[in-house]
Amino acid sequence: MAGEVVAPEKGPNPWGQAIAALVVVGVLGGGLYVIQKNDAEAADKPAACSADDKDKKAAKDAKAAQRISGTELCTALNRADLPTLLGTPQEHARTAYGSDGSVEMAGGTKIHTPEGTVQLDTYTVKLSRSYDDLPVAGTADLLDDAETKKIQDHPAVLYSSPTIAIRFNLGGGKSDTGPGGIARTLLVAPDTKDGGGSYELAIWRQDDVRPDDTALLRIAHEVLPTVPGWTTTG
């Protein structure tokens, strides 16, 4: 039996990549994906954002530091109407999980990058938060195929990024990687003044077809205002 995971090739955000030259691939997360996917399919019901003891501790630490946790991002994303927003109303969440990571920059500065991911039959959707001090404005100049946008007056940039397909052979215990399709990603400032940091919302398809920008923008307008830390004023 084999399983396949498609993960974005790029890291938390374009500024971080330009400075740290990082490529992040969630291989461990991919392994968990295969296990959770089988469980959800067997039950044939929407997956829920689960939280084990490690997740609960991460959420508690994030709250104490006035940050959002991966579980909270997953919960905001894994809403009942997500399949409809994606244009696939007949589907439901196969996997849903949050993670709390960080990136250490040169000089020792740690940037927290929690994220939540929901996977359906056609699409995978990921919402992450980067707690850096860099504004979203200007990132379009660093990226190919980039467009500036506004999400409820918050500066945003829409761009494409390649994905890496990670294939698991559950019988032989081996895995291999190769090029996947294209992810469409929206980088959005958490406030209207663009004072630093960002949310990153990405969607990609399991069949490697280019994702629907309209679906991505629908999700951004409906989901981001419900996320803790989103502000409607500067």
Q: What is the DSSP string of 7-24?
A: EESS-S-HHHHHHH----
pLDDT tens-digit profile of 28-76?
233 333 334 444 454 578 899 977 777 778 778 888 878 899 999 999 9
Residue 120 lies in a domain: yes
pLDDT band at 232 (very low <50, low <70, confident <90, very high): confident
* H/E run at residue 43: helix 27-43
Quote the strand ranges of 107-217, DSSP E: 110-112, 115-119, 123-130, 147-151, 154-169, 174-188, 198-205
Which amino acid appears at position 65 of this protein? A
Closest C-alpha to 143, from 128, 157, 126: 157
Mean pLDDT of 109-115: 87
Distance of CA 136 to the CA centre of its chain: 17
**pTM of the entire structure?**
0.78
Domain that holds residue 168: 2-226
pLDDT tens-digit profile of 126-161?
999 999 988 998 888 888 789 999 999 999 999 998
Instruction: Count CA atoms closer than 13 A to 162's CA, side-chain side.
Output: 6
Residue 47 lies in a domain: yes
| Structural contact between residues 85 and 218, judged by C-beta atoms closer than 8 angstroms | yes
Residue 232 lies in a domain: no
DSSP for 78-127 reads S-TTHHHHHT-TT---SEEEEE--EEEPTTS-EEE--EEEEE-SSEEEEE
Q: Any idea how long the chain is?
A: 234
Residue 54 lies in a domain: yes
Number of Cβ within a 10 Å radius of residue 90: 9
- Radius of gyration, alpha carbons of the chain: 17
Residue 158 lies in a domain: yes
Structure confidence at residue 140 (pLDDT): 85
| Structural contact between residues 200 and 128, judged by C-beta atoms closer than 8 angstroms | yes
Residue 38 lies in a domain: yes
Structure confidence at residue 33 (pLDDT): 35
- Please name the residues in contact with 32: beta carbons below 8 A apart, sequence gap of 6 or more: 97
Residue 48 lies in a domain: yes
Domains contained in the chain, number: 1
pLDDT tens-digit profile of 171-219?
666 666 766 788 999 999 999 999 899 999 999 998 878 999 999 999 9
The span from the CA of 29 to the CA of 7, in Å, is 10
Residue 231 lies in a domain: no
